[in-house]
Amino acid sequence: MTLSELNSFPQDQFTQALATIFEHSPWIPNRAWRKRPFATLDKLHQAMVDEVDRATTNEQLQLLRAHPDLGARARMSQESTTEQTRAGLSSLTPNQYERLQTLNTQYRATFDFPFILAVKGATYQTIIEALTQRITHSREDELKEALNQVSKIARFRLNDHIKE
Which amino acids are annotated catalytic?
67
Q: Which amino acid is at 47?
A: A
Residue 115: C-alpha distances to residues 14, 29, 91, 94, 124 (Å): 29, 23, 19, 20, 14
Nearest partner of 122 among 100, 94, 98, 137, judged by Cα: 100
Q: How far apart are CA 163 and CA 142, in angstroms?
A: 32
What is the dihedral sign for C-alpha 60, 61, 66, 67? positive
Q: How far apart are CA 22 and CA 8, in angstroms?
A: 21
